[in-house]
Structures are given as C-alpha cells and as structure tokens.
Structure 1
Amino acid sequence: MSQQTLNGFGFFKSSSGVKRALESDSETVESPKKKFIKNLNQDSFEWYVADENGVWHCSVCRECKLDNAYARGHSKPGKTTNHTRHADSNQHKASVTRLKYKGKESLPKQVDNILTKEADSITSYMKCAYHQAKHELPKSAFKELIDLADNLNVELIKDKSCEPLYTSNYSLNEFHQSISDVIWEGKYEAIIRSQKYGLIIDESTDIGNKKQLLAYIQYLDEDGVKCALLENMLITTSHANAETITCKIKDCLERKQIDISKMVGIGTDGASVMTGSKNGVVKRLKDFAPSLIGVHCAAHRCSLATSQATKSIPELESYSRTVTNIFYYFSNSALRSNKLSEIQSLLNLPSLKFANIHSVRWLSLQNAVEVLYRSYPALVVALEHEAVTNSVAKGLLNEVV
C-alpha cells in the first residue's frame, strides 16, 4: 500500500496537521481535572475539638466512651470530608441522642411525675371545693379560695397566662359531685347490709328561687341508726305535686341501685301533697313498698303546735311583733348598731346582735328572746337616747319598759 493511500486514511500527517488536530481536540474535550471547592472548615463541627494534649477528637463519641478513630483522636486536624462522614455515622448519631437525654428521667418516669403533679393539684382544688361547701359559702368564694392557694404557692393547674384553671361554677359542680360520690361509696355498702331503710324528705327553695327536694336515708349499722344525705334533687317542673315528687324519689333510688321495696319508713311534713290519703307521696310509694309506714315529722309538728298556739294568745302575738320590730330597727342602721355595741361595752354586757323571728326556723323565737334578755339594759339605754328625736324609738321604748 502506497504512502499516498495511507495518507488518505490519516496515518501520516504533517507536523502542522497534527498540531491543528490537537488544537481542535482541546477545544471540544474538557480536561479531566476535577475542581474542589472547600466550603467546610473545622469550625463547622462543634464536637470536633482538641483536648489538653492537643489531640483532635469527637467530644460526643469520647464522652459516650466509644472506641473509634474519632473518639481516640488525631494528632492533627482531619479533613472536613471525614468529619462529614463521621457525623452521618450511626455511632455518632446514637451518641448525640444519648447525650441529649442524659440526666433526664425516662419517659414513663416523666409521665408519672406529670400525673403526680396533676393529682396533687386536683387534690388542692377538691379541698377548696369541700371547704366552700362545708362552710356554706357562695360559689363565688371558690375562685377566691383558689387565688389564696395560688398566693400560698400551692401547686395548681394553670393556663398560658399563668392563671389557675377550673374555677368556674361548672368545674365547682364537678368537684362537688366527685366528693359526693366518694362519700356515698362508703355509705352504700352499709346501706346494702342494713336490708331495711327509711327516708326523710322535704321541699325547699334555694336563694336562686329554685325548688329543691332534699332526701336523707336512715339505715342500721353496727353502732345503731345512721343518717346520710341521699340526694338534693332539683325540681324543674312547674308543679311540685305528689306525682313529680314520687317519680324523683323512684329515679333516685334506681340510679343509686337501692331496692325501693326494702323501704319501711318515710318522714315528711304534714302537707297534703305528702300525707294525702288518696294521692299523697306516702300513698303512692306504698304501691312499691307495701311495708312502708309514713311518719309526720316531729319537728314539723312541734313547730306547727307552737306557731298555732301563739295565734290564740294576743299578748304573744304582740310580743313577737315587738321583737321583730326591735331587730329591724337596729339592723337597718349601722349607726344604731354601733351605738348599741358601745353601750353594751360600757355596761360590761356581751356584744350581741338582736335576732329575727323566722317562720321557717323552728322555735327561732327562743334565740331572739334570749338575746333580748341578755342585752335588755343596753336596749333600754339606747332607746332612751334615740326616743328624744325618733318617734319609732319612743314607741319601742314604751313597749319594752
């Protein structure tokens, strides 16, 4: 094969041709040389530090007492690429997690501590609610009791603004119901063991003008006859007739799982709705408890007897009005009450306030008369001073002297 032919295939080229070919290749093919941009430094890894001997190491792995190259350390700082690989290793990640929760209690222990704190807080709420109910304080006093407990650094459950929670009337009712349920649990077993029981029921109207039906239960225990509050039932219907009261009692006994047929006695007032021979509450309950005996409350009978007896004696009626007028004369004026208190002090008498006679308070006349008797000298002196300028005081003075 001739050289010309070989030249045609490009085996032989001139030096200038080779140079042009190399130049052409350099324009189309990039250099295989890699470019490296160092965008990390030693400061990017807070855990990579030098100890007192100048050994660079991973403080996280060393603190967790791991045996790896980074825990043992390097005499000179390593490459950042190696740091990155170490940071992504499972050993390093596990060490970071371990140190994160070091010194902290386990999850079950933390949950138990939270529940214990909440239980202590709820106990504090319960104590305040019990105090409010025991001393017959208004519901508005509950929040004041909670605020007092908060000021005394009692552990309470608070909202984001650090204000105690569960101070509403709804929460207070929940606390009262919970306390009532606990107290009732201890009574229930004794009532069941008693086999027979009796009820004491009466109607009343609270300060909110709502009709209430109070029911107490009497039962036999090892120590004798016991009495406990069964329930305070709200009557929401427009008529508190015998049918309504009977249904309330039946529902209450069923809800508390007490057998109505074992009821052998019931104490009520003398109102016809309770003791009516045809449609009274006692008559209706006898259909479910055949052995039931109705008893007219002795306290009600005594109150009726005393109140009816005074109506036939004009002097007692007049005396009751005088006692009532004296009460209102002093209670309606703070100045008169203060003057009476000063006179009692000067005469070495007990500082007493006159009592009123309530038609719903049995024998309240006794307390009113007793206070009047013990403060009689101070009363006369006070009325004598007031009678000079006050005709009402003059009239009262004529009645008591």
Structure 2
Amino acid sequence: MTSRKRKLLPIKGQQKLPFLQKDVNNNEVPKNDTSFDSQSETEVDHKKYSQSEPEATASTSKNNRKIQSNWFKLWPWLYESDGVLYCEPCVDNKKKNNFVTGCAVYKTTSMTRHEALSDHINATEAPKLATEFQQAVQQSHSLEDKAVLKCIKTVLWLAQENIPLNKFESIFELFRELDVPDLEPLRLNKHVNYENYYTSTEILGAISCVIDNEINVKLAQSPYITVLADESTDLANKKRITSNARIVNGTTSEPETVFLSDHEYEDGTGIGLATVILQEMQRRDISVDRLIRFGSDGASVMSGGNKGVKGILLQKQPHLIHIHCMAHHLALCTSQAADLVPAIKCYQQWLTSLYYYFSQSS
C-alpha cells in the first residue's frame, strides 16, 4: 500500500498560514525552517492570525475580549467600573437587568440587545416624561392659582367695601357674563363649584389669619405699645369691646395704629374688661413692661383709678399713663354746651322723638 501525503486544509475564515509552502506536486508542506508536527497542525493559534480589533482602553474579560473606547461614544449611556459595564439610566431608575448588576461580556451585541429592552427604553425616556409631567402640573397649578387669586381679591374687596359675603356668588355670575378669563377651575361640575358663600367665608378666614400674623410681627418689632379700648354694641344688641394699638413701625420708625381684637363680653365691670384686654395682650405676646399708655372714652368703668380698667392696669404697670380720647372729649364738650342753648336742646329732643317714632312703627 502506497502512503499518501496528508493534505493540509486551511481553516475556514482564516488567512493562508505563512508556515506552509507548495511542493512540486502542488501540495502544501511545512517550510524547511519551521518545525511542524501533528499537534501544531490541529492546535493553531487562531487569535494570532485573525483580524485584530482596535486597541483596548480598559479591562480584559475572561475570553480575552477588551472594552473598546468607541463604545462609550456609540452608547452614551454606557459606563465602566472595575472592568464591568453598566447602564446609567437603568441604574438610576433601579431597573432589573444585566447592565444594572454589571455586564462582563465585552461584545457589541450585548449593548445592542440591551438597547432594545423595554426596561432600557423606559429608563432613557423617564427624564423627558418627568419634565413633561412637571410642566403639565405647573401649567395646571398656574390656572388654578389665577382662579383662586380672583376669589381672594373679590373677598377682600367685599370686606373692604362692607358688602355682605352672600353677594360673592352673584359677583362671579357677573364675571362669567363679562367673559372674565381663568374661571374654569372654580367649577368642577354642575353640582360642585367654589363660587359660593361657604368658599368666601373660608377665604375670609384665611385672609384674617395672614393679616393677624403681619400684625403680630409689627407688634414684636415695636419697643413700646399704647392700647386703645372702647365699648360698643352690635346689631344683635350684644356687648362688645374693641381694642387697637399704637405702635412704632419697625421699618419706617413712624407711629402706626393696628387692630387688635373685637370681643364679646358679659362682665361689664372694670375687672371683666381689664381681663379681656390682658388676655388679648397675652395672646399676641405683648408684655406689660412694653405697655406705656392706655386710651379710653373716659367712662368711669374705664378711667376708674381703683376698680376701673385704668386702676387694674396700673397695678400691673405702675408707669402707665391714661389718655382720655380727644374725640370723646369733644363730644362731651359739645353736648354740655348744647344744654345751655334752648334752641339746640329743643332741636335735639325733636330729632330723638322722630327717631323713636319711626323705629317703633310697623
């Protein structure tokens, strides 16, 4: 049996091996200067003679593949840490995939497959969706704020003009007839809206709280305070005491009058009225040491030196000065002077009788 020479077949996909040459019979045989045996024939270093990849810039994986620098340009979301690849949007949004725990397979297919995942798509679109949502919320809040601001200004105007709050709803009906813009958020449906009396009372309460806090700030900045108090009755014939304060404005250093309270009371004695005034001072954190003057209408219950309001406050603040209201002074002077003029006294009696006649008629 004649022996045949073994013909060496080139490995598929590889370039022609440089250590082979052709003999006279056109067969490939090893070169003379290269040792060749059966083992080197089968265990060819494919990596050495394959097309080389670009130069690596980071770590190398177990299969000797390397992280390429151009990957970070092709996929901006990609970053490397300790030789492992991560997806920044997926990590930030706490997704569950290989690029969150760390991918060590250095292949372009790893990135292309990850880029097609719904998790990755949702993570990359999350900032845009969040921005659009915030813009929509801000626009919605802007429309609501404009509508609420119109309600607040309307209630404030009604209070300043002494117009009852039950006119609040009719005013907004007028606004709609005049095509006033930005009123849509006030009507949720046919049965629920914010253009009613109850809304106006809540807004008025909120406004009063804001004004009350501003007054407290001014009171705290004033080094000295004068309290002005007077008794009165309301339309229901209930006894009330109104108190105001003269202060020094902390910003302009000019005198200013601010409102303190309007309380209903039952005990009309000096002790009862002084208790109401002292409780209001305590509520507004006004120390008695800062109280330098007390102004009243000059009635005995107010100006009494022992059991009047003046006497009780003097026990708390010995340096207190009582001031008789100049307007009440003038009223007393004119009434006492009119008693000495018969014509004026007759005219006053005639007006008083006319008033009682009409007040008691049906």
TM-score normalised by the shorter chain: which range applies?
0.5 to 0.7
Q: Which runs of 5+ in 1 are unaligned?
A: 1-89, 331-401
Cα distance in 2, alignment partners of residues 325 and 288 from structure 1: 46
* Alpha-carbon contact 1:210-1:234 (below 8 Å) kept: no
Cα distance in 1, alignment partners of residues 321 and 297 from structure 2: 14
Which of 230, 240, 245 is the equivalent residue of 2:260?
Answer: 230
Q: How big is the shift at 1:167?
A: 2.8
Query: What secondary structure is seen at the aligned counterpart in 2 of 1:106?
Result: helix
Mapping for residues 38-53 of structure 1, pairs under 5 Å: none
Cα distance in 2, alignment partners of residues 174 and 287 from structure 1: 41
> Larger helix proportion, structure 1 or 2?
1
* Alpha-carbon contact 1:266-1:295 (below 8 Å) kept: yes
Which of 191, 194, 197 is the equivalent residue of 2:219?
Answer: 191
Aligned to 2:193: 164
Q: How big is the shift at 1:141?
A: 2.3
Please give the TM-score of this superposition, normalised by the length of structure 2.
0.55
Aligned to 1:381: none
Q: Which amino acid aligns with 1:129?
A: V
State whether structure 2 residue 162 is matched by structure 1 residue 136: yes
State whether structure 2 residue 175 is matched by structure 1 residue 149: yes
Cα distance in 2, alignment partners of residues 119 and 276 from structure 1: 53
Mapping for residues 354-373 of structure 1, pairs under 5 Å: none
* Alpha-carbon contact 2:301-2:308 (below 8 Å) kept: yes
Q: How big is the shift at 1:316?
A: 0.7
Aligned to 2:133: 107
Structure 2 vs 1, CA of residues 275 and 324 (structure 1 numbering), >3 Å: closer, same or farther?
Answer: closer
Structure 2 vs 1, CA of residues 238 and 252 (structure 1 numbering), >3 Å: closer, same or farther?
Answer: closer
Deviations 1:35-79 (A, max 9, x none): xxxxxxxxxxxxxxxxxxxxxxxxxxxxxxxxxxxxxxxxxxxxx
State whether structure 2 residue 267 is matched by structure 1 residue 239: yes
Aligned to 2:228: 200
Deviations 1:200-240 (A, max 9, x none): 11122223433332211101233532111122x231x5333
Cα distance in 2, alignment partners of residues 247 and 255 from structure 1: 12
Aligned to 2:104: none
Q: How big is the shift at 1:174?
A: 3.4
Mapping for residues 1-400 of structure 1, pairs under 5 Å: 106-151=132-177, 152-155=180-183, 156-161=185-190, 164-165=193-194, 167-168=196-197, 171-221=199-249, 222-231=252-261, 233-235=262-264, 237-321=265-349
Q: Which amino acid aligns with 2:148?
A: I
Cα distance in 2, alignment partners of residues 166 and 254 from structure 1: 38
* Alpha-carbon contact 2:146-2:182 (below 8 Å) kept: no
* Alpha-carbon contact 1:219-1:227 (below 8 Å) kept: yes
Q: Which amino acid aligns with 2:246?
A: Q
Please give the TM-score of this superposition, normalised by the length of structure 1.
0.50
Q: Which amino acid aligns with 1:122?
A: V
Paired positions, count: 237
Structure 2 vs 1, CA of residues 259 and 127 (structure 1 numbering), >3 Å: closer, same or farther?
Answer: same
Please give the root-mean-square deviation of Cα atoms over the aligned residues, in Å.
Answer: 3.7
User: After the TM superposition, which of the residue ranges 284-293 and 130-139 deviates more from structure 2?
Assistant: 284-293
* Alpha-carbon contact 2:288-2:316 (below 8 Å) kept: yes
* Alpha-carbon contact 1:267-1:295 (below 8 Å) kept: yes
